[in-house]
Amino acid sequence: MSEGPASIVPVDADTLDDFAMLEGVGLAARRELIASATQRRLQPGEILIEQGSSQLRLFLVLRGELTVHLDAPEAEPVAVIGHGETVGELGVLDGSEASAFVVAREVTHLLEVAEEDFWALTNASHAFAVNLLLKLVSRLRANNAQVSQNVQKRRQYERAAMFDGLTGIHNRRWLDETLHRLVRRHEAGGQALSVSLIDIDHFKSFNDTYGHAAGDHVLTVVASTLSANLRPTDLVARFGGEEFVILFPSTNLEEAMVAAERVREAVAHETLSMPDGTALPSVTISMGVSELEAEMSVAELLKIADHAMYRAKQAGRNRVRPGRPGDEPL
């Protein structure tokens, strides 16, 4: 049943028992508050507080609900303020502009307390002052929790942006950042650095014959096999498509060739089958290895490894070939 336009909510000292902000406040102080306050009645959709406005009033919700919106009154609400709750205390305390819109969700009755009456109650009632502090602490903790949650989400997004969604290993973005950092470290301290560019042999025909699901499975298995057979200091990333890159920090070309050969053998001996048990043929990889030299760029380092990888393919695949400056594909 709808309320008439002139209907009001009877207010006496007992009416305010449900307000946490007034818990412990004496009856005399409550009566003075009611006598000085003004009743407001809002229609659904009516704006009580406008973002950016100065609000030097405290509102007590006697009946109905208010919603809080950050960007616009029509935006999705971020909070609901119902019977027994208050809004506007921060604006009275520091005179700041409202940071959100507050809108009536339904017919809502309010008790509006002016700034001077707010401060009079604060000075007269120790309980009101304590309740106000408790509410501010609660809001601060909620804000801190929201900030912490946002930080965690940002870290999760940052982490997800550095990993390949299919294989779970690092992706091209991570590789670019890490490889540049390792090159700078090499330039500063002279530590050796080698890389290997890897390609799965005949992957296109494998995909065409057994389907993309099988191809994705092979990519995942190869990635996990590479990771499992590296030294703790070595790093692997998906370069794109069926190509991978291994970084060998503090490793010269000869040492990296030994490590790459071990990885190649592990992939060649890996038994493949789909999750449902369907057997798949084994796959092999071709690898090119290069070592960083003085004044060599990241692009040059990868290009040398890429040329060596193609020489491995042209020599029959399933093998490792070293690359040196000046080498070209056969």
How do 320-322 and 285-291 pair as beta strands? parallel
* Among 242, 243, 291, 300, the one annotated catalytic: 242
Q: Which residue from 16, 125, 91, 123 is spatially nearest to 60, judged by alpha carbons?
A: 16
Largest Cα separation within the chain, whole Å, is 97
CA–CA separation, 219 and 200 (whole Å): 9
Active site residue 243: no
| DSSP symbols for 63-125 | ES-EEEESS-TTSPPSEEE-TT-EE-HHHHHH-PBPSSEEEESSSEEEEEEEHHHHHHHHHH-
- Alpha-carbon gap, residue 102 to 88, rounded angstroms: 10
Could you give the residue numbers annotated as active site? 242
